[in-house]
Amino acid sequence: MQGDGAVRRVVRQKTAHTLKALGTDYLDLLLMHWPYPDYFEEIWFEMENLYKEGLVKAIGVCNCRERHFEKLRKSCSVFPMVNQFESSPLNTKQPLADYCRANGIHVMIYSPLMNLRLKAETGYRESLEKLAGKYRKAIAQIILRFDVQRGFTPIPKSAHKERLQSNIDIFDFELTKEEMKSLSGFNEDRQTLPESKSCPGL
């Protein structure tokens, strides 16, 4: 722990500002954006305090791997409830997803549709289009449904009303086991946003 508690003070201040800005007295979920190498455990310690005080109803992390959780396990009193990371059929991160499931950590997916901007292996786009045609949905909806059926909560961002509506409209169809397997088969561990560039040494 840092002697003067500067990091912990910042966590508390940021939470207070957010509560004020939202005009509420508690937050449903507070996430640590990155497992900052030098401050990871200290930030988590303060997040635990906020959780115990009832200011936040759940606490979690982002972009954490198995090793980060195992590090926290040694010192934490509350284990992370959520892990938010980037994933898609091109980057399934299956071992991490399995770890989260086994440890009761809910998975949130950020930038779930970013992979559509990448040049992927031949067949990926075609496969998505085929499924989109079959279910009369957009390919973005197929990907979001894929995430939901993996037990994840994707959080696509859009400023367009129609797209926002479309992103929610994914609960009236279900991909078959074969279709899920086929989409997972496109995994090439392809990161859209290289994590180490945003948080060196994470």
Interacting residues toward other proteins by CB under 8 A: 67, 188-191, 194-201
3-state secondary structure of 59: strand
Cα angle 116-120-66, degrees, rounded to a multiple of 5: 80
Nearer to other proteins, 77 or 198 (CB): 198
Considering only CA atoms, which of 83, 90, 76, 18 is closest in space to residue 47? 76
CB of 145 to other proteins, least distance (A): 26
Tokens of 176: 């078959």
CB of 179 to other proteins, least distance (A): 25
CB of 49 to other proteins, least distance (A): 25
CB of 189 to other proteins, least distance (A): 6
CA distance 40 to 86: 19
3-state secondary structure of 69: helix
Nearer to other proteins, 6 or 168 (CB): 6
CB of 95 to other proteins, least distance (A): 9
CA distance 85 to 62: 6
Nearer to other proteins, 185 or 200 (CB): 200
Nearer to other proteins, 66 or 169 (CB): 66
Nearer to other proteins, 117 or 177 (CB): 117
Beta bridge mates, 160: none
* Alpha-carbon dihedral angle through residues 169, 170, 173, 178, given to the nearest 10 degrees: 160
